[in-house]
Amino acid sequence: MEITSSQAAFAVLAAIIVICSVLSVTTKRILRSATYLMFVLFASAGIYLLLNYHFLAAVQAAIYAGGILILLIFSIFLTSRPGEKLIHIAASQRVMSALAALFGFAICTFVIVRSGLKIAASASGKIDMHVIGHALMGSEKFQYLLPFEAISILLLASIIGGILIARKR
Amino acid sequence: MNLELRTLMQLIDEGLRANLPKFWAVAIECLSVGLALLAGYAVLAMLLIYVERKVCAWFQVRIGPNRVGPFGIFQTVADTLKMLLKEVIPINHVDRFLFYTAPFVVIAASMLTFAALPFAKGIQAIDFNIGVFYIMAISSISILGILLAGWSSNNKFSMIGAMRSGAQMISYELSVGLSLLAIVMLSGTMQLSTLVEQQADLWFIFQGHVPAFIAFVIYLIAGHAETNRGPFDLPEAESELTAGFHTEYSGIHFGFFYLAEYLNMFIIAGIAATVFLGGWQPLHIPGLDGFNYVMDFIPSFIWFLAKVFFLIFLSLWVRWTFPRLRIDQLLHLEWKYLMPLSLLNILIMAVLVVMGWHF
């Protein structure tokens, strides 16, 4: 079987995602697992690039790697002694988390198999920035993201209000 | 006589394609583009370090480097050799993996942004249709590297430096993004090559007059703060924190931080030149055809580099003019002045575009 360059790139990215995901849950130091998570996020941004979804790749890098991961690292810094090895986890917790992981795996497999394992050809051509912009701001069918964003601003305002009320001076 | 770099590239491309199968021609071209970018990155860093030392010497009425070579031009070459030959000192009780990963994260982010700059007509390695957004996304990654470097050094000063740097870069990124957004609204595109093409007749700073100029000034201030350089150099304030997040690094790892710092200055200036000052486009004034014709004779890469070095000179000037800010003053400047102002500026720009008041 002939291996195309995009298949090779996909294999490399998939290997990075799998290895770093496993490492990020098995490592004993919490900051290291955040770093492995960073590699996972970048590799998934790479997969979006491979699919020609440039916008989604940049969103992945900006929101997840540039925003959420930095928030995560800051919150790790605020916890006590981020560098120490994590304490041993009880057996019951291990069983529970293994079950949760298996359940998630089962759902994913079910969905993939049910959809008939269709190998869709990657969407040809890039999505133009204008199309995304119209989808975000438009008010027709499949174009209604602006209210969603407005609700998220309301959520932010209520979080800030909650902090202000709960904070004691 | 065509002095453009593109003619040279076309010659190489035709030569390779004529003599090699398509796959190998493409592979060799990809490899040589990568090598050219890396080489350009290193050479520009050496040049910038020399320029900085010479210019800051002039500001302080000194001569600056003058021993190695005529006017000391080989001083940074000697310094680079010294840096490459230095020992990498292992630090006790640090998280080795994070400590040695951090410099690579910083330099990779800087390199990926550098590759997206349009250096001359037809010379651009990465050109997405979301160009401006790509630059914003990738450049935010270097914060991660700085945070990891500061924490994994196992040193209180480094940690304080990294936290300051994180707060500073996250805050000022907002103003950088919002001021670039004003120009994106004016042009209607985020692709860097299209942005440059649209400025063939008149640069965006003149096309969008008042709001474009405000956006340009905000971008220069916020971009300067993003590079962690004076007067915003409190992450590495040498008199308080020894050197901030890279105190414990030595040899080539320190070199990576040093390189990334100087190249970030170039990248910020390069984006400003591309988005506001027409990139590689020559200075054209509508109506003055003779003047425009003469300006076209100057090759595009010279235009780009001239604009970039002019902006770098401005940032050096600022560095030696203003005293260092305190951390609260720094955050006040961003959150109370620059960000509201850039939001207001976007509003003005929207009115301008809708009413068609721009040129």
Contact between residue B229 and residue B48 where contact means Cβ atoms under 8 Å apart: no
Give the separation between CA B324 and CA B338, rounded to whole angstroms: 18
Query: Residue B27 has what pLDDT?
Result: 80
In a domain, B40, yes or no: no
Q: Do B130 and A73 touch (CB under 8 A)?
A: no
Q: What is the pLDDT of residue B198?
A: 84
Terminal CA-CA length for chain A:
69
User: What angle do the packed helices B251-275 and B209-226 form, to 10 degrees?
Assistant: 180
Kindly identify which residue of chain A lies nearest to residue B190, measuring between CA atoms.
Answer: A129
The residue of chain B nearest to residue A55, with distances taken between CA atoms, is B130
Amino acid at B272: A
pLDDT digits (tens, 9 = 90+) for B282-322: 888 877 778 788 877 888 888 888 899 999 998 888 888 88
Rg of chain B on CA atoms, in Å:
21
Distance, CA of B290 to CA of B350 (rounded, Å): 34
Mutation for testing the A interface, residue in B26, B31, B128 having most A CBs under 10 Å = B128
Q: Residues B199-237, buried b or exposed e (16+ Cβ, 10 A)?
A: beebbbbbbbeebbebbbebbbbbbbbbbbbbbbbbbbb
Contact B137 A31 (CB under 8 A): no
B49 belongs to a structural domain: no
The structural domain count of chain B equals 1
Q: What is the mean pLDDT of residues A69-96?
A: 78
How far is B316 from B214, CA to CA, in rounded Å? 21
Q: Which residue in A4, A24, A28, A35 has the most chain B C-beta atoms within 10 A of its own C-beta, making it the best mutation to test that interface?
A: A35
Q: What residues 113-152 of chain A have any CB closer than 8 A to a CB of chain B?
A: 126, 128-129
Token duo for residue B337:
């002045």
Residue A4 vs residue A157, higher pLDDT = A157
Query: Is B239 a domain residue?
Result: yes
- A 83-102: CB under 8 A from B: 83
Residue of A nearest to B26 (CA): A5
Rg of chain A over CA atoms, in angstroms?
21
The answer to whether position B77 is within a domain reads no
> Is the distance from CB of B67 to CB of B33 less than 8 angstroms?
no
Cα angle B48-B49-B52, degrees, rounded to a multiple of 5: 80
Of residues B262, B254, B238, B246, the one with CA closest to residue B82: B254
Q: Which tens digits make up the pLDDT trace of A98-144?
A: 899 999 999 998 888 887 766 665 555 667 777 777 777 777 777 77
**β-bridge mates for residue B123, sequence order:** B120
Contact A70 B170 (CB under 8 A): yes
Contact B144 A128 (CB under 8 A): no
Using DSSP, state whether B123 is helix, strand or coil: strand
Q: Tell me, what's the pLDDT at A15? A: 93
- Chain A residues with CB-CB distance to B137 below 8 A: 58-59, 61-62, 65-66
What is the rounded CA–CA span in Å between residue B284 and residue B293?
9
Show the low-confidence residues of chain B (pLDDT under 50). 1
Let me know if residue B288 belongs to a domain: yes
Write down the ipTM of this complex: 0.79
Query: Which candidate in A70, A71, A81 is best for mutational testing of the B interface (most B CBs within 10 A)?
Result: A70
Nearest one of B43, B353, B96, B307 to B210, comparing CA atoms: B353
Alpha-carbon span A94 to B252, nearest angstrom: 42
Q: Where are the domains of chain A?
A: 1-85, 128-169
Q: In which band, very low, low, confident or very high, does the pLDDT at A18 lie, cut at 50, 70 and 90?
A: very high
Q: What was the pLDDT predicted at B1?
A: 47
Q: Establish if A153 touches chain B: CB-CB under 8 angstroms.
A: no
Please tell me the distance from the alpha carbon of residue B35 to that of residue B300, in angstroms, as a whole number: 22
Structure tokens at B123: 């010379």
* Residue B65 in domain: no
Say if A77 is an interface residue toward chain B (CB within 8 Å). yes
A1-85 placed in CATH 1.20.120.1200: yes
